[in-house]
Structure 1
Amino acid sequence: MEATVAVTPDQLPELLLHVAVVRPVFLWGAPGIGKSSLVRAFADSLGLDCVTLLGTQLAPEDLIGVPQIVEDRSRFAPPETIARDEPYCLFLDELNAAPAEVQKSFYSLILDRRIGAYELPAGSIVIGAGNRATDNALARPMVSALVNRMVHVHLRANVEDWLKWAAHNGIHPWIVEYIVQRPDHLWSAPPKSEQPFSTPRGWHMLSDALHSYGDGIGDDMLWVLASGTLTTAHASGFRAFVKTMRHAYDLDAVIKGEASWPRDPADRDLLYFLSETFRVRLIRELPASRDHISGGVRRFVLRAKSMLTELAEISVECAQLVIASDEAGVPVLPPWFLVEITRDLPRLAARR
């Protein structure tokens, strides 16, 4: 199912509070963005136990139960985990990954809140969740009768929401600071092959590993952990960032002229990281038009052109990375700045 409108993690609790208490909700989203943890946190906020059933691990009888004879008649006895006397949150995770026979078993539970003779206690809520086929995750077509029995909500990763959550959940400060500088690295689209990719869950796992090792972790092991939880590009960027943290070497120092671009071949990953960070800074701080720019911005532009000249002397590839267009070929830096770069860089290089 494709998303037309999506909500952020911060918006989800209020939506569930108004909708999930009256109708079943199905939560769509990419792997690793926090669907399960958000549902459990929502159940906790209501004081409800959260009972999780994984669609990929169920058979029909696991839900509807097995027949038993009661007063010369047979009836199905639902499992103890479901047949409770007190209200609870029934979380049907990976529901759309379940076989069609299992999906059918949920019909009456989702629509009528009933399994055979057993009815969910008043005040119980039912929430389903699953990944999309476009995420290269296990996802079977959801039968139309089941689709029509739930309110569908699409969840998207949000950097501001994640940073607020991270501040109260012990995420390693290196990771928090890195995501502040590179918010575009919080999440990446799942690859088509079996490779790690960046998600809030992946960053959380890396944080746990870093806490376990301590800040004295060696560079080689840091690389092993980062490349095992993130995309290769993001792992390389994070590794270089940690190097800047350990050596007090950051982009601000280069901009102020207190440090120069790293020239040592062993620091090539650091050079790439600083180049990417410089690109992000230019995108954020340069105005769309050069009309009426402040004196501070004008001084920053002059310094930026000089820095690009210095960078090109070390690595033309890194200099090109700073001013490159996006994947669609659309320039990301203001046209007026690109014109000045084209015009002034040869003269600046000659002057040096």
Structure 2
Amino acid sequence: MTSHPLDAADELNRRARAWRSEPARSTQLEALALAVTANLPVLLWGEPGIGKSAGLERLADGLGVPLETVIASVHEPSDFAGLPVIGDDPAATGVPMAPPDWAVRLAAAGRGLVFFDELSSAPPAVQAALLRVVLERRVGSLTLPGPVRVVAAANPPASAADGWHLSPPLANRFVHLHWTHDPRTVARGLAGTWPEPAVPVVDPAKAAGAVARARGAVSGFLTARPGLAHHLPDSAEARGGAWPSPRSWEMALRLLAAGYATGAGDDAVAAAVVGAVGDGAGLELLAYLEALDLPDPDKVLANPGAFALPSRGDRQLAFLTAVVSAVQGDLTRKRWEAGWAVLAKAVDAGVPDVAARAAADLAALRDLDWPVPDGIDGFVDLLRLSGALPG
């Protein structure tokens, strides 16, 4: 059989593309995986050609999910809003908006990653259409399944062809991660060995406690720094990145919870949190968390007499909020009563006002068949005023 002139060339190219992998740590890929685990939209900022698409392919392979890539800059708004399809009787059935093929494939798979590339090169009208996909998960008349994750990539305006700043409503719905390259990693990869970072996996046994810790931490921090709850930057460039708002603080909370539940590296958690609320607010939160050292609320509920209440008011509030959230996450009479034993520490310390909100929340969790525990005595007047207990 006569070989084709290109057969040898194809074999050469196959050999040049062959590579093996080795375990390695990658902060940026771990931060990306953390945000994907938390099911938060992610935006990767980086220069062209540094491996953003390759990173997404490795992540999709590691998660065992399909990946659909959409070049946002070459699409029209109707490609995301859907194209009208006229039926037999539009007056009776309406005009459905047909979704594109990539959305149909993801809906059929039930889970996956959709990767919107060159987002900053898309004009504002296309960005506005994409906002509905990110916010409502709607593409035409199709709703993407909840397990479908959204990742986008953008080049800085200085290096993007006809680049645009992202609109503040769109930018504030993403976790912003800066994607860079390590020359040593590139050199080793071109020698035939690329790193294969491990994907963080949630430990189901840690999930409830992780959420409780994150709630306490973020609530305590914003109690101490209320001015950071919402701050829209002045410049258009800064508004197109990460900045603090109630929405982005909720994202930070979910990232912290995912970090606690997966055991992700501190650097990856830090990058993800800063990517949600911005450099200033994010770095302040991280410094607060380092000093906070919040104990595991589940361990405290298992032995409420063996802990000491923190001395600072914001840390007391963070701790008590975490305890009540942990009770809510796994509500039993024993844990509910242990929660009151913890809150009683605030009464003993002479600061029942700090525990007032936590006490009202804990009282609201009571099953009517459960007797009123002794630890509630110090809060009775307060709870009656709030309506949590009958007069």
Report the TM range for the smaller structure's normalisation: 0.3 to 0.5
Q: TM-score, normalised by structure 1?
A: 0.43
* Higher-RCO chain (CA-CA 8 Å, sequence separation at least 6): 2
Decide which structure has greater helix share: 2
Q: Which entry has the higher C-alpha Rg, 1 or 2? A: 1
Q: TM-score, normalised by structure 2?
A: 0.39
